[in-house]
Amino acid sequence: MKLKNICGLVIIFILSCHRSAPEKPLQIGLIEELNPRQKAELTQLVKASPFFKEKDLKLVSIFGLEPALLLASPHPPDVVELEWENRSVAPEYFLSLNPYLEKWIIPWVYADQHFQVGRFKDNYYLLPLRYSWLGFFYSQSILTSPPASWEELEEICTAHPSSMGLDFSRPSEVLKFILSLIWEFGGDEFDLNNSQTKSTLYFLAGIKDCFSPYAENYNLKLLAEALERGEVYFAFAEPELAKILAEKGILNQEIYTAPLPGKKGVAYTSTLLGVNKKTENPELAVRLAILLTRSQTQNQAIEKELWLAPVKGKKDLKNIFSSFLESASRLKPVPYQVNYSAFSRLYQEIFVQIVFKGRAVELVVVDYQLPLRQIKLGLFEESK
């Protein structure tokens, strides 16, 4: 056989091997570690789309990983889930979604207020996935019906001191509690001298004896245990507590859930999906991010108790998220164009000063008015 023919066969063989090389699975990095049931149901949701029916999907846990380090690594997941407080890394590491959104004409992204958190100037980089806001948990042996207003809660506190809990391990949960209260009173979260904001702080001081003396030590797991053994009768917490109580078999048996009291804004955060700039298949990765965050998929995720989102038309739904959805129309995002970590820590400190240390409201206002104004203006510098 001539050398020319041999070379030709070699080239054909190499090209054939290249074409038959298996396609890399599309990777999605998720913050939450999913159990086998959740993985199977999430994969099924994705595979129902014609774009992904024949595609391999790999779910990767990125819990505890620093986003900037993960995204700067040689091979980060194609689609990455971020915590609310890490959204600022998006312009550096994520694709702008605008070309795809405009090409596919997806108006709900531009119109829905919840999608503005993923926008930087005129570019969308992130789409909201798992939403989190507070609900009211209560023991039905103590309380036959939940409070509809904060004033009713105050009456409950008077009758049952030292009986309320809150996940104090995360400043974000304390922040959501206080902001929802401030907005109910018509206050300004960046101005403690505002009369309505100050009224909120006085109200908080008035119900301080309602909180358990152990409340400062509660994380979500300990809060669930405290409710289970009757150490507290009431709690404000995110949907994850409902999952824990359901696993214990006491949700809607001993402990029930209700929407946050009041009629005005309920503070929320969410995780956010973005497509990393290094992906080898940007169009498919963007399609995956859109698929997971569109209302149809969010509806299915709620029905399967995978995660919570503010969808409509779920009045007849009976599962662990039902009562949370009753306040979905009241949702208002926690301020995101500020130093969120510092903002939430400051409000956690304010809570400690008023509730656990019993410090006078006027003195707290003096101490924290300037730092909050600095955060709003982007001038706050954290102490080393």
Note whether residue 112 is domain-resident.
yes
When the pLDDT of each residue in the chain is averaged and rounded to a whole number, the result is: 91
Asked whether residue 33 falls in the same domain as residue 125, the answer is yes
Query: Distance between CA 203 and CA 150 in Å, rounded?
Result: 9
Asked whether residue 148 falls in the same domain as residue 243, the answer is yes
Asked whether residue 78 falls in the same domain as residue 221, the answer is no
Asked whether residue 245 falls in the same domain as residue 291, the answer is no
**Count of domains in the chain?**
2
Asked whether residue 346 falls in the same domain as residue 223, the answer is yes
Note whether residue 8 is domain-resident.
no
Note whether residue 113 is domain-resident.
yes
> Which tens digit of pLDDT belongs to each residue from 94-104?
999 999 999 99
Asked whether residue 98 falls in the same domain as residue 147, the answer is no
Query: Distance between CA 123 and CA 87 in Å, rounded?
Result: 13
Asked whether residue 255 falls in the same domain as residue 343, the answer is yes
Asked whether residue 178 falls in the same domain as residue 226, the answer is yes
Note whether residue 1 is domain-resident.
no
Matching residue, tokens 């694709």: 95
- Return the pLDDT at 383: 67
Say yes or no to pLDDT of 70 above 50: yes
Comparing 11 with 356, the larger pLDDT belongs to 356
List the CATH number of the domain containing 251.
3.40.190.10
- Return the pLDDT at 315: 63
Asked whether residue 187 falls in the same domain as residue 283, the answer is no
Note whether residue 327 is domain-resident.
no
Say yes or no to pLDDT of 14 above 60: no
Angstrom distances, CA of residue 208 to CA of 249, 354, 356, 359, 378: 30, 7, 7, 11, 31
Is pTM beyond 0.75? Reply is yes
Give the type of residue at 330. R
The residue from 292, 322, 352 where one domain ends is: 322
Asked whether residue 139 falls in the same domain as residue 254, the answer is yes
Q: Model confidence at 341, in pLDDT bands (50, 70, 90)? A: very high
- Return the pLDDT at 61: 95
Say yes or no to pLDDT of 377 above 70: yes
Asked whether residue 114 falls in the same domain as residue 204, the answer is no
> Which tens digit of pLDDT belongs to each residue from 125-134?
999 999 999 9
How much is the average pLDDT of 173-197? 98
Note whether residue 156 is domain-resident.
yes
Query: Distance between CA 135 and CA 327 in Å, rounded?
Result: 9
Query: Distance between CA 137 and CA 45 in Å, rounded?
Result: 30
Which of helix, strand or coil describes residue 234?
Answer: strand
Q: Model confidence at 15, in pLDDT bands (50, 70, 90)? A: very low
How much is the average pLDDT of 56-84? 95
Note whether residue 314 is domain-resident.
yes
Q: Which domain range does residue 288 map to?
A: 19-131+268-322
How much is the average pLDDT of 295-312? 91
Note whether residue 9 is domain-resident.
no
* pLDDT above 70 as % of the chain: 92
How much is the average pLDDT of 119-144? 96
Asked whether residue 159 falls in the same domain as residue 233, the answer is yes
* DSSP 8-class letter at 126: -
- Return the pLDDT at 1: 47
- Return the pLDDT at 4: 45
> Which tens digit of pLDDT belongs to each residue from 193-245?
999 999 999 999 999 999 999 999 999 999 999 999 999 999 999 999 999 99
